[in-house]
Amino acid sequence: MKGFDLSGKNALVTGSSRGLGKQYALDLADAGANVVIHDVNEEAAAQFDEAESGSAVAAEIAERFGVKAVFLAADLADPSQVKRLIDSSIELLGSIDILVNNAGGDIGAAAPRPDPNDALDIPIADIQSVVERNLLSTMYACKYAGLHMRDRRAGKIVNVGSIAGHIPVKQGIIYAAAKMGISQYTRSLAEQLRPFDVNVNCIAPAPTYTARFLATRTVRGQEELSRLQRIAEPKDMSDIVMFLCGPQSDALSGETIVCWK
C-alpha cells in the first residue's frame, strides 16, 4: 500500500521470518520502517522453504529497502522471552512504534496440529499449546510493548486473529476460540490505551496462500469463484495491516476487520 511514509518508525512483527508475517514486514520496510524480524528460532524460516534463516530475511530486507532490519528469536509462549524480545527490540531500534502480533497457529504440543482437533477429545496439552501460542502470546507482547507505548504516549498495535474466530467450526475449535478472544482483548486494551494515543486494532484474515497453507491443505480450483470468494494472497491481507499501521487509521481503535471469504 502506497500513499504514506513510515520513515523513522520502528516496527516489530512477530512470526515474520515466513508466511504472512514476512509479507507484513516487507511492506512495512517498503514504506520506510525499520523492522525486527522474529520467529521462534533461526531455522523456522526454512520449515517450508520460504527463506534460509531469520537472519537471512532481515539481511534481505535491509539490503532491498535501505532500512535497519534485525532478527530476534523468542518463544512467545514464555513471558520472560517475550519481555526480552520487547526490551531487545527497543534497545536495538530505539523504540517500538508499531507492533504486529502475527505469530500463532493451530499448533499442537507435540505435533504440527492437534489430533483430535475438536472441543472434547483434544488432549489437554494441545489445548494449552493452542491458547498459549495465540491468545496468551498476544497478551504478553501487548503487555510489554503497551507499557512502552503508554510511556511514550504513541504507538500502533495490530493483533492478528482469524476468520475462524467469527464462524462456527467443527475442527480447530480451541484455535477459533483463542482467536475470538484476541478480538475482545483488542477492544478492551484499546479502551485502556485510548487516553495515551495508542491505537489497538485487529485483523481476522481469511484463508490465505502461504507455504504452510499449501503444505497442509488440498486447495480446490478457484477459477470459477469471484475475487471475494477466492483464497486470498498475502498482499491482500498485508494491505489491510498497512492501513492499520499507517496514518489513515489514526482515528480508529478497538476494531477488528474481519476478512470474509
The CA distances from residue 97 to 10, 45, 47, 199, 257, in Å, are 5, 25, 30, 11, 21
Q: What pLDDT shows up at residue 208?
A: 81
Q: Is residue 193 part of a domain?
A: yes
Q: What pLDDT shows up at residue 223?
A: 81
More confident residue, 239 or 207: 239
Q: What pLDDT shows up at residue 210?
A: 75
Q: What pLDDT shows up at residue 64?
A: 98
For 77-100, write each residue's pLDDT tens digit.
999 999 999 999 999 999 999 999
Provide mean pLDDT across the span 241-252.
97
Marked catalytic residue, from 24, 140, 175, 185:
175
Q: Is residue 74 part of a domain?
A: yes
Q: Is residue 108 part of a domain?
A: yes
Q: Is residue 34 part of a domain?
A: yes
Positive or negative, the Cα torsion across 204, 205, 211, 217?
positive
- pLDDT exceeds cutoff 60 at 2: no
For 126-185, write each residue's pLDDT tens digit.
999 999 999 999 999 999 999 999 999 999 999 999 999 999 999 999 999 999 999 999
Q: Is residue 197 part of a domain?
A: yes
Q: Is residue 2 part of a domain?
A: no
The CA distances from residue 125 to 137, 182, 247, 250, in Å, are 16, 21, 41, 40
Q: What pLDDT shows up at residue 209?
A: 79
Q: Which amino acid is at 131?
A: V
Q: Is residue 52 part of a domain?
A: yes
- pLDDT exceeds cutoff 60 at 55: yes
* Domain CATH code at residue 197: 3.40.50.720
Share of the chain above pLDDT 90, in %: 85
Q: Are 21 and 102 in contact (CB under 8 A)?
A: yes
User: Which cell numbers in the block locate residue 84?
Assistant: 526480552
Q: Give 93-142 as a DSSP string.
A: HS--SEEEE----S--SSSSS-SS-SSSSS-HHHHHHHHIIIIIHHHHHH
Which range of residues forms the domain containing residue 104?
10-258
- Among 40-54, 138-152, 203-217, 233-247, name the one with the lowest average pLDDT: 203-217
Q: What pLDDT shows up at residue 194?
A: 98
Q: Provide the terminal-to-terminal Cα distance of the chain, rounded to the nearest Å.
A: 21
For 174-187, write each residue's pLDDT tens digit.
999 999 999 999 99
Is 175 among the catalytic positions?
A: yes
pTM of the model: 0.95
**pLDDT band at residue 4 under the 50/70/90 scheme:** confident
Q: Is residue 135 part of a domain?
A: yes
Name the domain count of the chain: 1
